[in-house]
């Protein structure tokens, strides 16, 4: 059974540009979560989607946004990129209200 | 409010010797506790989870952890370390039901295995 898959693996963008990260959850999972792992800041919750709806968002500015598609895959968009957005972005999936999740390999975003 | 403290930022052991990674938690409710492992340039892999069943939890790759409410601890152990165990380990707590948005991660313990 395939796990959570993320693309691309690495992404290099210039400050001010937009980045789009993609995630495919484990088959049967309806919830998708996005976490940011920045150097020195640890893992921080970004967004939670379930059944196409945003369920919760962490303490991040509105330029971090996303969506979930009917097939439960998800996209994270980061607009007006700043240098401090450089981080590993992890996607996770679970059944609704499972309380925990399976994580993907992550997308390493570098803003130069 | 919930929090988790991983008592060691780095742990170094020799191959074949026991591993102990320490984790203390703080929670207002009956928590769920997890250990995740992250190998270099990889995502997070769930090692084991405690969700109010047996207090001794067995995970993958020979790891286990014991939930001790009186000590508010959830230490991770393995009888014999292998070179492939070298990685970053995260203790995670959740004290409410619902989604995985409520996970609080520790700062991580870097496990080094000496040959």
pLDDT at A1: 63
Whether residue A106 and residue B107 make contact (CB cut-off 8 A), yes or no, is no
Contacts of B69 (CB under 8 A, 6+ apart): none
- Residues 65-94, chain B, touching A (beta carbon < 8 A): 90, 92, 94
Q: What is the CA radius of gyration of chain B?
A: 13
- State yes or no: pLDDT of B41 exceeds 70: yes
A99/B99 CB distance under 8 A: yes
Q: Is B59 on the interface with A (CB under 8 A)?
A: no
Cα separation, B115 vs A79, whole angstroms = 46
Q: Rounded to 5 degrees, what angle do the CA atoms B88, B89, B95 make?
A: 145
Residue A33 near residue A93 (C-beta atoms within 8 A): yes
What is the average per-residue pLDDT within B80-91?
A: 96
What percent of chain A has pLDDT above 70? 99
pLDDT tens-digit map of A38-76: 988 889 999 999 999 999 999 999 999 999 999 999 999
CB contact under 8 A, A90 and B44: yes
B99 Cβ under 8 Å from any chain A Cβ: yes
With pLDDT > 90 as the criterion, what percentage of chain B qualifies?
72
* Residue A108, pLDDT score: 95
The residues, any chain, with a CB within 8 Å of residue B53's CB and separated by 6 or more, are none
Chain B nearest-CA distance from A47, in A, is: 8
Q: B97 falls in which pLDDT band (50, 70, 90)?
A: low
Pairs of CB atoms within 8 A across A/B: 66
Query: For B33, which residue in chain A has the nearest alpha carbon?
Result: A100
How confident is the model at residue B17, as a pLDDT?
98
A99 pLDDT higher than 90: no
**Mean pLDDT score, A76-101:** 93
- pLDDT band of residue A16 (cuts 50, 70, 90) is very high
Contacts of B47 in chain A (CB under 8 A): none
Q: What is the pLDDT of residue A62?
A: 96
In 3-state terms chain A splits into helix, strand, coil percentages (rounded to 5) of: 5, 55, 45
* Closest Cα in chain B, distance from residue A17 (Å): 24
Q: Do A45 and B34 touch (CB under 8 A)?
A: no
């Amino acid at each position: 059974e395939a796990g959570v898959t993320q693309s691309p693996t690495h992404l290099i963008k210039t400050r001010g540009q937009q980045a789009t990260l993609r995630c495919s959850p484990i088959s049967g999972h309806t919830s998708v979560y996005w976490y940011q792992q920045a150097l020195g800041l640890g893992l921080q919750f970004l967004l939670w989607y379930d059944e196409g709806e945003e369920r919760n968002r962490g303490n991040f500015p509105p330029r971090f946004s996303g969506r979930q598609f009917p097939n439960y895959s998800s996209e994270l968009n980061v607009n007006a990129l700043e240098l401090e957005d450089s981080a590993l972005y992890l996607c996770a999936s679970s059944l609704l209200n499972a309380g925990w999740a399976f994580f993907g390999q992550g997308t390493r975003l570098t803003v130069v | 409010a919930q929090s988790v403290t991983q008592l060691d930022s780095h742990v170094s052991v020799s191959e074949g010797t026991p591993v102990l990674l320490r984790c203390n938690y703080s929670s207002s409710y009956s928590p769920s506790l997890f250990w995740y492992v992250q190998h270099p340039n990889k995502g997070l892999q769930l090692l084991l989870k405690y969700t109010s069943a047996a207090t001794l939890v067995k995970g993958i790759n020979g790891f286990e952890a014991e939930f001790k409410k009186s000590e508010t601890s959830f230490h991770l152990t393995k009888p014999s370390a292998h070179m492939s165990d070298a990685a970053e380990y995260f203790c995670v707590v959740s004290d409410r039901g619902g989604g995985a948005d409520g996970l609080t991660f520790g700062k991580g313990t870097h496990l080094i295995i000496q040959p």
